[in-house]
């Protein structure tokens, strides 16, 4: 593992490589995404403790997505159980470290929610984090909810930087949770310009896809049914983003294996 400083254009390449990865095996990626959503939905229904448990498991489950991307590049078969690779594939000590990392992630996420709750009262954090049966749309309606959502997005940026690479560093590089968080923060700050480009490209892709969908539905005269395509489009977008996480890891840490993505060139059309 070697921490690299990459040029700003790498942010665009990460997203492009994420699209390439998804296209290479879309069925496997979507199957993992559905399994993840179903599992998290079940956990979120557990009263009071469901939300915290889910946050603790997030880092470990993210390793599963990274493992799937690694196997796709190597043309290996990807099965749904790879989602648990972080907890099952590296021994009990790594699994314990990932749970500890999950505890840190839960604390950091709660802190971000607390900051956003200052703009919408304590009800926001209580309902969104600890009540799995709450109607989130009702809570977020209105100006206060919108301001709280924006505040949370801003407060979550440093959380994302701290944990962007931390799970895979713990699982694949045998690094303690605290050191993994430090290296993740260092990698993100050192390559901040590339991440800014990446974020801009993600927003442009999301806005462009939504605009194209709206125009097509309007031309066909079925604009009122556009909402029915929002969820499938969101899932597709989420799958591409998960794949781009892996591309950013390979780019920032210079990990080279057979079939690895080169962060400085366009992805191969394999």
Q: What angle do CA 191, 196, 200 make, to 5 degrees?
A: 150
> What does the pLDDT profile of the chain (270 residues) look like in tens digits?
688 899 999 999 999 999 999 999 999 999 999 998 888 888 888 888 888 999 999 999 999 999 999 999 988 888 888 999 999 888 899 999 999 999 999 999 999 888 877 765 445 555 555 454 545 555 445 555 667 777 888 889 999 999 999 999 999 998 999 999 999 999 999 999 999 999 999 999 888 877 777 777 777 776 666 666 667 778 888 899 999 999 999 999 976 654 445 444 444 333
Q: Report angle CA 105, 240, 100 to the nearest 5 degrees.
A: 15
* 43/46 Cα distance (integer angstroms): 6
Nearest of 217, 215, 267, 268 to residue 15 by alpha carbon: 267
- pTM value is 0.81
3-state DSSP assignment of residue 220? coil
């Amino acid at each position: 593992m070697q921490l690299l400083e990459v040029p700003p254009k790498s942010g665009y390449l990460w997203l492009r490589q994420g699209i390439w990865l998804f296209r290479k095996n879309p069925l496997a990626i979507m199957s993992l995404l559905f399994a993840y959503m179903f599992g998290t939905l079940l956990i979120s229904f557990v009263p009071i403790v469901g939300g915290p448990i889910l946050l603790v498991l997030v880092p470990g489950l993210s390793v599963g997505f990274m493992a799937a991307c690694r196997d796709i590049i190597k043309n290996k078969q990807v099965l749904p159980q790879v989602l648990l690779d972080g907890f099952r594939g590296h021994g009990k000590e790594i699994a314990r470290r990932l749970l500890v990392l999950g505890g840190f992630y839960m604390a950091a996420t709660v802190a971000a929610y607390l900051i956003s709750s200052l703009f919408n009262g304590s009800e926001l954090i209580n309902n969104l984090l600890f009540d799995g049966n709450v109607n989130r749309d009702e809570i977020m309606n209105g100006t206060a909810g919108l301001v709280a959502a924006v505040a949370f997005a801003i407060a979550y940026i440093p959380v994302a930087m701290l944990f962007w690479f931390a799970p895979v560093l713990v699982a694949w590089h045998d690094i303690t949770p605290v050191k993994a968080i430090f290296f993740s923060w260092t990698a993100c700050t050192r390559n901040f310009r590339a991440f800014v480009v990446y974020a801009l490209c993600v927003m442009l892709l999301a806005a462009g896809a939504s605009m194209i969908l709206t125009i097509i539905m309007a031309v066909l005269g079925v604009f009122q049914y556009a909402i029915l395509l929002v969820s499938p489009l969101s899932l597709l977008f989420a799958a591409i983003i998960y794949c781009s996480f892996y591309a950013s890891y390979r780019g920032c840490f210079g990990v080279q294996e057979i079939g690895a993505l080169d962060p400085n060139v366009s992805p191969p059309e394999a």
